[in-house]
A = this chain, B = another copy of it.
Amino acid sequence: MPDLTVRQQQIVDFIQLRQEQEGICPSRAEIADHFGFRSRNAVNEHLRLIRQKGFIGETEGKMRALKLITPLQRHRQKVANIPIFGSIPAGFAQAKVQEAKGCVSIDIGTLGITPTPGTFALEVRGDSMIGKHIMDGDIVVLEQGVNPKSGEVVAALIDNESTLKTFLLNRGKPFLRAENPKYPDLIPAQELVIQGVFRALIRRAAG
């Protein structure tokens, strides 16, 4: 793929910026305005060359429809938007989106799963799962409504609060275990509500 000239790169950058910021592709007139061109055809000519070099897809006739093809874009995957809940109330299934405290946006390739409407995220509080290398402040992505396998990490509702535990089957009986010697070992999972199964984790550097 041949390289773009400085001007051409500037135009590609501007289109990308606008698409990210506004969610709308700029028209040729708007591009001309931004660069101070008095003729829209200057933009036209640039776009023709950029398209010829393969950095813009074909969208003949359509308006505000420039499809950028950047090197990273070729690797880019669909981005999922997962709601973050502070703590999950009992009546969870009904009113979800309204109570979201935030939103994690991450591509599904990195996430490793295709999110469903039952996918949600929690911020980890405490170090009860430090043995599984899940730290205080981590954001965990969970899947609601699936049956956990033995050894998987789950979020369970204990004392009206979501807590992460390892789910274990011991002679057919489900148990929950905290991965930290400071916490009691096995909790019968008979009447506990499993809110979600661990799927992914995101951690920010401290500080």
Separation of A43 and B201 alpha carbons in the complex (Å): 41
A interface size (C-beta, 8 A): 57
- A168 CB-CB contact with B under 8 Å: no
In-complex Cβ contact of A25 among B24, B71, B73 (8 A): B24
Q: Given A23-B19, A201-B203, A205-B198, A76–B64 Cβ distance below 8 Å? A: no
Interface string of A30-46 (1 = CB under 8 A from B): 00000000000000000
A110 touches B130 (CB 8 A): no
Q: Given A24-B25, A77-B105, A98-B71, A202–B201 Cβ distance below 8 Å? A: yes
In the assembled complex, how far is the CB of residue A158 from the closest CB belonging to chain B, in whole angstroms?
Answer: 21
In-complex Cβ contact of A67 among B24, B65, B105, B200 (8 A): B24
Closest chain B residue to A106 by CB distance?
B106
The segment from A47-55, A78-86, A159-167, A182-190 found at the interface with B is A78-86
Which are the 9 A-B pairs with shortest beta-carbon distances? A112-B204, A75-B103, A105-B107, A133-B133, A201-B203, A64-B64, A71-B97, A63-B63, A24-B65
Could you list which residues of chain A lie within 8 angstroms of chain B, going by C-beta atoms?
Answer: 19-25, 27, 59, 62-65, 67-68, 70-73, 75-79, 81, 83-84, 97-98, 100-107, 109-113, 130, 133-135, 139, 152-153, 198-205
